[in-house]
Chain A
Amino acid sequence: MSSINIDGTDVPFEPGQTIMDAALAAGVYIPHLCHKPGISPHGSCKLCTVDVNGRAVSACTMAAAEGQKIENNTPALNEVRKSITQMLFIEGNHLCPSCEKTGDCTLQAVGYHLGMLDGHYPQFYPRREVDASHPSLVLDRDRCIMCELCVRASREVDGKDVFAIGGRGTGRHLIVNSATGKLADSDITTDDLAAHICPVGAILIKDHGYEVPIGRRTFDLHSVAETDLGEVKLTKTRHHDE
């Protein structure tokens, strides 16, 4: 069987698998937010950036190939990943203390995993529309990280094409493909994968917040990687853009 080498460990792969596919199958954690097995890769979050034979690529879109020497869990790559996570936090209103997804949020868990303490950059404080029109779903666009998992899940799995990303640059935002642009006028239901796939607190099921006791939530019990660092240094390292 063919294999790639991630951080010194040989990882087998099948022809057609990406680096991410092979790593996930072997239980090797490459940080990621916009990827979910079974849904086509996207390449937007950039957290899975790895060095393949000295060149930076997205593990979720790069095909695995014999002879690849891949650096993944390195201090330099994790520092860049922390900066990306900080950008995602300051671009939205990620006020975890008042979010129903806290403890169950992959973005937050990645922040913990990478030892993120602050947002570093000035806050954007976007003012994007909340859509609570649907009887059983609510859409808080201020928390959306535009991973397009809902877009892809609706299109590829649910066969409905409910969501899309509209706008350009920092004005990008999640839109609903209905005549009014409201979730209530789309045909999304709580049975759809798109209603549950959001990795953050942007798409929520109504009347189901704060049901799990603190200490029993997903990332209270599990690290996002299940291979954790012992502690987080509070030392303020010089940022690469300073």
Chain B
Amino acid sequence: MSKVRVATTSLAGCFGCHMSFLDMDERIVGLLEHVEFSRSPINDIKHCEPCDIGLVEGALCNADNVHVLREFRENCKILIAVGACAINGGVPAMRNHFSLQECLEEAFLDEIGVDNPHIPNDVEIPLLLSKVHPLHEVVKVDYYLPGCPPPADAFVKILTDLLEGREPALPKNMLHYD
């Protein structure tokens, strides 16, 4: 039987959701008997290939995030928003309380100890969006896995359910927003 293909990525994330995913510890060995990874920070694949499941952590904070998210949506049959950032913007969305200009000036011009103060403007650098947004404001999201980060058991549960052809469900003790 061919393996289920899973892609993962971090947009405006902290990689904490990926670390929580890896917190499934030795259970990942059993998982790898059924799953192979497409693009993911844990391998070297540069682009998302056609996949069964896409796990996306992090909110959308810049143009590259939007580009990557659209690539995932086009290639993944099931797209899962993982973690608080992907679901409602999370802690990075606290910058929405300020204008983008204020944030850039604080970080690159006014902050104590800034050397050669200027706002980076190289074309290689993706432009920041004026606000941080959750995934569902740009693409259709199939499932939400809340938590900051979601517990490792929740990753195991949702993937096991999907692999075994069940609708994914979480026990109440795995549901938290913090």
Contacts and interface: CB of A to CB of B under 8 A. Distances in A.
Given A112-B176, A125-B131, A95 B90 contact: yes
Interface stretch (A149-157, A189-197, A228-236): A228-236
Interface stretch (B28-36, B50-58, B165-173): B165-173
A119 B172 contact: no
Contact of A231 (B88, B89, B148, B171): B171
Interface string B106-130: 0000000000000000000000000
Interface in B74-93: 81, 84, 87-91, 93
A201 to B, nearest CB: 11
A163 to B, nearest CB: 22
Contacts of A230: 171-172
A30 interface: no
A51 B89 CA distance: 36
Given A125-B131, A233-B167, A102 B172 contact: no
Contacts of B171: 230-232
Given A95-B94, A117-B144, A123 B134 contact: yes
A68 B91 CA distance: 46
Contact of B172 (A93, A112, A118, A120): A112
A161 interface: no
Contacts of B145: 117, 234
A123 B137 CA distance: 9
A111 interface: yes
Interface of B: 81, 84, 87-91, 93-94, 96-97, 131, 133-134, 136-137, 141-146, 148, 158, 161, 167-172, 175-178
Given A96-B84, A119-B134, A235-B169, 14 more contacts: A95-B84, A95-B90, A96-B177, A108-B177, A112-B172, A117-B143, A118-B88, A119-B87, A123-B137, A125-B89, A125-B96, A125-B97, A234-B161, A234-B168
